[in-house]
Amino acid sequence: MRMHLSAIAALASAGAASAAISNGGLKILAPGGDNLWWLVGMGNNIVWTCGESTFSQFTVSINNSDISLLTDIQAIISQEQNFNCDQLVTPNDVNVPVGDGYTIVLADPLNGTNVYAVSDPFSVKPVSVGYPPASATPSDPGAATIAKPTGSGSGSVVGATGAATGSGSAAPQKTGAGMRLSAGVAAAALGVAAVTLSLL
């Protein structure tokens, strides 16, 4: 019994360090935590462990317990394909105010009660802060080996490092201007092309 209790205590303290939830190998790598924030009104990336995930698709939502920032959990993408490995979301997809305590939620497209993964809380910051450096996003060792359907391109990996290059200010800004990205394969390929262009 004592060992059991101390095991629970250890779990509780581990939980305190990270509020994130991960199931079936699916973990949100970005955003989340103090070092991986979003910029208000800009294109922002979501990156997950596609190489380890046992889920082939999921919904993407944003949540916050602070109802002055977000009154309820809000769907961003109704059906995201795991093989994309990352997703650029634009202000057309989601536009939440500057603030703290946001989380990204990945869930079963057929039943939102089945939550697959929740990110660590993250902030939405003013544009003047700039994007976090690309090096802040942990890389997914399995991403390089994931099978992508023909036509989806290999470039979706760009998004995983596309948050910044060099000085840390480069970002998929232009994509945010007019492009509507959805979870479709064609749209994902287009998004990657746009990100690549904006980085050139």
State the residues that interact with ligand NAG by CB under 6 A.
Answer: 63, 65, 73, 105, 111, 113-115, 118
d(CA 80, CA 59): 6
| For ligand NAG, the closer CB: 83 or 102 | 102
Question: Strand runs (DSSP E) across the chain, as ranges?
Answer: 21-22, 28-30, 38-39, 44-48, 57-64, 74-81, 86-89, 99-108, 111-118, 122-125
| For ligand NAG, the closer CB: 113 or 128 | 113
- CB of residue 116 to ligand NAG, shortest distance in Å: 10
The end-to-end CA distance of the chain, in Å, is 60
Alpha-carbon torsion, ordered 145, 147, 151, 155, to 10 deg: -20
Is the backbone peptide bond immediately before 31 cis, with ω within 30 degrees of 0?
A: yes
| For ligand NAG, the closer CB: 63 or 196 | 63
- CB of residue 103 to ligand NAG, shortest distance in Å: 6
d(CA 60, CA 17): 24
Which residue minimizes CB distance to ligand NAG? 65
- CB of residue 28 to ligand NAG, shortest distance in Å: 12
- CB of residue 111 to ligand NAG, shortest distance in Å: 4
- CB of residue 198 to ligand NAG, shortest distance in Å: 32
| For ligand NAG, the closer CB: 96 or 115 | 115
- Cβ atoms of 47 and 86 within 8 Å: the answer is yes
| For ligand NAG, the closer CB: 15 or 126 | 15
d(CA 190, CA 78): 18
